[in-house]
């Protein structure tokens, strides 16, 4: 999406819209290791191509930021080497980035005109270089290619591509992470007496051993998070109380959206209000009863849950749909807002 001169490979990527990427991810989903299967999909919701394209084409991005009520930093270029820290494959980023650059800078045509084939070509090269199963690098390879498409080749090349893996994750296997996400806290010998007062743990950053808070059975995520009185505002200015940014607690602001890395089935079904609002915000449009994107003020937990907090929030769903309608019908009158 670079505004400068495109490489042949960038031109290939820029032919693919959100629908093409969604189709490619769906076709590969079962081949991505479970540790990153949902995480990869969540990353693509956190950094939507449609929103990036709208900002790239805007002559007044600051005004657009205000119009869409954007808080935090949605710009992928500002967090190019860190946006995917919640993926297991993040540890392979230096080699993934190098492989993407190899494809992007070759004067030859892409190995295929099929997006899925190109993603797999990158992941195979990375897996061979690192001698790891391709399933572990397939998701991060897709992320690398989407990152290139959104930021352009020159910006993609400009960062060091370095990562730092926390000590407590250095020797843990992907399968152990999957099991940890599925596990619930024990309630002790007399746990059955607690009933609805059972307590569970919510992890909001797997890279930080202290990034967790307690939750009482069926409590809303945002309500439980508010009881965590540590200083989270210095980490994220959007945080008023607790580690999850929240303003309204009534699904009106969209501030508290989160991705669910583990325990989605332990959350309450999305109700009609939450479903409508997350679509209006632009975060997700789905008929799933327990989607991987939730509003923390609406989702109630009945077990341990692992979430990831996006670095920004906004209200752009209606705007993007109106923009798409104008593209399809260029003579239509602008939608009132």
Confidence band (pLDDT; 50, 70, 90) for 107? Answer: confident
| Contact in structure between 40 and 87 (CB atoms under 8 Å) | yes
The pLDDT, as a whole number, for residue 29 is 97
* Range from 101-110, 199-208, 264-273 carrying the lowest mean pLDDT: 101-110
| Contact in structure between 231 and 212 (CB atoms under 8 Å) | no
Domain coverage including residue 209: 174-318
Residues 78 and 21 in one domain: yes
Distance CA(328)–CA(321), nearest Å, equals 11
| pLDDT at 209 > cutoff 50 | yes
The pLDDT, as a whole number, for residue 324 is 67
- Pick from 127, 162, 197: which residue ends a domain? 162
Tally of CB atoms within 10 A around 223: 17
294-333 pLDDT, tens digit per residue, is 999 999 999 999 999 999 999 999 898 887 665 444 433 3
**Residue bearing the bigger pLDDT, 233 or 322:** 233
Residues 137 and 184 in one domain: no
The pLDDT, as a whole number, for residue 306 is 98
Residues 121 and 249 in one domain: no
Residue 88 lies in a domain: yes
| pLDDT at 283 > cutoff 50 | yes
Distance CA(301)–CA(148), nearest Å, equals 36
Residue 42 lies in a domain: yes
* Buried b or exposed e, range 289-316, using 16+ CB within 10 angstroms: ebbbbbbbbbbbbbbbbbbbbbbbbbbb
| pLDDT at 189 > cutoff 70 | no
Residues 106 and 193 in one domain: no
Residues 54 and 122 in one domain: yes
Tokens of 113: 């005109």
Confidence band (pLDDT; 50, 70, 90) for 335? Answer: very low
Residue 337 lies in a domain: no
The pLDDT, as a whole number, for residue 192 is 58
- Pick from 130, 162, 194: which residue ends a domain? 162
| Contact in structure between 177 and 218 (CB atoms under 8 Å) | no
Residue 334 lies in a domain: no
Q: Is the dihedral of CA 126, 2, 75, 309 positive or negative?
A: negative
Residues 69 and 194 in one domain: no
22-46 pLDDT, tens digit per residue, is 999 999 999 999 999 999 999 999 9
Residues 211 and 242 in one domain: yes
| Contact in structure between 301 and 221 (CB atoms under 8 Å) | yes
| Contact in structure between 256 and 246 (CB atoms under 8 Å) | yes
Distance CA(23)–CA(25), nearest Å, equals 6
Residue 235 lies in a domain: yes
Residues 249 and 297 in one domain: yes
Mean pLDDT value across the chain:
92
Residues 196 and 223 in one domain: yes
Tally of CB atoms within 10 A around 282: 22
149-163 pLDDT, tens digit per residue, is 999 999 999 999 999
- Pick from 162, 182, 212: which residue ends a domain? 162
Domains of the chain: total: 2
Most confident of the ranges 1-5, 82-86, 185-189, 315-319:
82-86
Residue 96 lies in a domain: yes
Tokens of 281: 């915000």
Residues 222 and 270 in one domain: yes
Residue 2 lies in a domain: no
Distance CA(6)–CA(16), nearest Å, equals 15
Residues 263 and 130 in one domain: no
| Contact in structure between 9 and 16 (CB atoms under 8 Å) | no
Residue 223 lies in a domain: yes
Helices (H), 78-137: 93-105, 115-130
Residues 148 and 80 in one domain: yes
Q: 138-151 and 93-105 helices cross at what angle (nearest 10)?
A: 50
Q: Looking at residue 272, which CATH number applies to its domain?
A: 3.10.20.30
The pLDDT, as a whole number, for residue 187 is 81
| Contact in structure between 206 and 306 (CB atoms under 8 Å) | yes
Confidence band (pLDDT; 50, 70, 90) for 197? Answer: confident
């Amino acid at each position: 999406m670079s505004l400068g001169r495109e490489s042949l490979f960038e031109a290939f990527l820029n032919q693919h819209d959100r629908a093409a990427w969604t189709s490619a991810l769906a076709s590969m989903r079962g081949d991505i290791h479970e540790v990153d299967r949902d995480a990869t999909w969540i990353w693509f919701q956190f950094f939507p191509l449609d929103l990036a394209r709208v900002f790239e084409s805007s002559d007044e991005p600051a005004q657009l930021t205000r119009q869409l009520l954007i808080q935090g930093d949605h710009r992928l270029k500002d967090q190019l080497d860190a946006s995917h820290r919640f993926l297991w494959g993040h540890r392979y980023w230096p080699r993934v980035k190098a492989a993407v650059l190899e494809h992007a800078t070759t004067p030859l045509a892409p190995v295929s005109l099929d997006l899925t084939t190109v993603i797999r070509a990158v992941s195979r090269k990375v897996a061979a270089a690192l001698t790891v199963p391709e399933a572990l690098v397939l998701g991060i390879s897709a992320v690398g290619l989407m990152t290139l498409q959104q930021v352009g080749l020159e910006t993609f090349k400009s960062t060091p591509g370095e990562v730092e893996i926390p000590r407590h994750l250095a020797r843990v296997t992907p399968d152990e992470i999957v099991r940890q996400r599925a596990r619930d806290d024990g309630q002790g010998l007399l746990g059955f007496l607690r009933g609805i007062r059972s307590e569970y743990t919510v992890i909001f950053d797997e890279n930080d051993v202290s990034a967790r808070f307690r939750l009482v059975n069926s409590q809303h995520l945002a309500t439980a998070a508010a009881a965590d009185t540590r200083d989270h505002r210095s980490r994220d200015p959007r945080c008023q109380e607790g580690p999850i940014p929240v303003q309204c607690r009534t699904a009106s602001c969209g501030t508290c959206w989160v991705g669910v890395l583990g325990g989605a089935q332990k959350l309450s079904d999305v109700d009609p209000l939450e479903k409508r609002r997350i679509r209006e915000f632009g975060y997700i449009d789905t008929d799933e009863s327990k989607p991987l994107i939730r509003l923390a003020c609406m989702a109630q937990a009945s077990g341990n849950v692992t979430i990831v907090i996006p670095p920004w929030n906004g209200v752009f769903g209606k705007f993007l749909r109106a923009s798409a309608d104008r593209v399809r019908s260029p003579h239509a009158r602008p939608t009132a807002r």
